[in-house]
Chains A and B, each alone.
Chain A
Amino acid sequence: MNANKRAITDWIFKQGFKTAGVVTIALLGGIFFMLLYNSISFFIKRSPLDFFTGSNWDPETNYSILPLIVSTAFVAIGSMVIAVPLGILTAAYISEFAPKKLQIILKPIIEMLAAIPSVAIGFLGIVLLGPVISVLFGIQNGLNALNGSILLSVMALPTIITISEDAINAVPKSHREASLALGANKWETLFKVTIPAAVPGLIAAVMLGLGRALGETMTVLMATGNAAAIPKNFLDSVRTITATIAIEMGEVPYQTTHYFALFAIASILFLITLVINLLGEYFANRLRKFHQ
């Protein structure tokens, strides 16, 4: 191949890569525009005030996102209440106290937990956890917010554990050594020095775990009962934003108000997860900068 031909090939592929890059980014950007366009189509027809403050999601008459947001909040916060302490403590154990051999077993275990598809977890919510909850609380049906929270915590745990682990590992040895040298024992070091030092990274872990929980669809669709009323307690049936989209999207004729309404709630979900992920990234950056 003479130099000219090679130069042309080089140029062709450079344009090819560039095009692929641009198309990819355009496609991903398209998601944003699709949400925006269809949401605006909704707000032209219905008032934003009703949307955010009404108490009923009853397609064709009332489109209020409030019960859906409350439902989503219930399961997401519920899952964090379980997953955050468990996750951080587990991460602390794995990175600070577990012997090397145990670490080699534990890490794949966490990865395996992360690999389990959400349908399988939702399935267990129906066949295993549901009956347990109904027996435990003496209620008839175990498909409710509690079920969803527990399942979501299982899904968020690997994220929280892995990132917390990174955060705790990144705390320089010097911190620990200084603390021990000053007479603290390993527990005081852990709880009063290491973990506080890892806080930015821990917050990142929680944010990303929360983002995962908020965006889950199948698990909540299968295990939470799907009643679109504002829940009063954890034993109530709830319907999250994601489940609502999954249930109703197939049945809307395109370009109707209901169709646009679903995009509107999808946009809100998008914004919420975006904010949470951005926060997570912000704290992860703090972590990186701290250890430069």
Chain B
Amino acid sequence: MRKRFQIGVLAGLALVASACGDDDDSAALPAAQAAVTTAAATQPPVTTAAPATTQPAAATAAPAEAPVPSRIVSLSPTATEMLYAIGAGDQVLAVDDDSNYPPETADKMPGLNGFEPNVEAIAGLEPDLVATDGTNPDLLSQFDTLGIAHWEGQAAVTFDDIYTQIEQLGAVTGHVAEAAELVGHMQSEIATVIDALPVLPEPLTYYHELDPNGFWSVTSDTFIGLVYTEAGLVNIADAVGEGNPYPQLNAEFIVSEDPDLIFLACTKYCGETPETVAARPGWDAMSAVVNGNVIPMDDDVASRWGPRIADYIEQVGAAVAHAAGVPAG
């Protein structure tokens, strides 16, 4: 999908702006497709049982004889975050250029590109495991040819996908207990947020802004959309209908829908702030702007499905509480 997306860019550059009509291609950073997660080639499949019930006992599932990888290359920013969060950071040898979290990864960027990875450069690092997001099947078959073990964590569709991926990485890297602990922590954090949500006569509506250059958004059919659904919110972009999870919305529509909340998910890369939104002509009278319910979010967290999604939903919960506390109008 990303590859197609880049081809789309090239076509655009070739002055045929008309060549790419498929909205799906254009906005999709988190390619929310099927979540078939394959375990690493060297490891037996990891348990996919509900993590809450498997607690520390899951430690027994750790592979006995297989050596734990100590030269991991991660080409997926989400996988990188997961590896560090379960204490496998020391085993990470190198990460791709987009793996900017946690900050320690800065020392481990040899210039690998997650979109167009250079297989020779990766092989030259002599990794004993490569973590990818599974969107590039050609790359995976090249790894197979070279005998390089790889693990795929595709874009999550549900929260369980995240927990499964964290547990798989825990099993693969020998950090089963930490992985279980992280999953438990995330689950309780998210449960706390959801329990604390105010009871409202009518659900609040929101607009999630992926990019202000054309008002790209997401529908509830995406993973990040699911996060908001969990927080009890209704997405104005769902009016677009199915089959277009990353639509480009019409400005008139957004303003006339007047959502209760506006989440800005292009703060780092586009520099959007509540102030820039208020300064847009015609937007100043919107309820979210007037009531201070325009919330800057972290672009990276919003486009990944890593451990920080628990903090994200916490932020959303706080925003909902604030919006619910403000009298309507």
Answer yes or no: do A and B interact: no
Binding site for B on A (CB under 8 A): none
Binding site for A on B (CB under 8 A): none
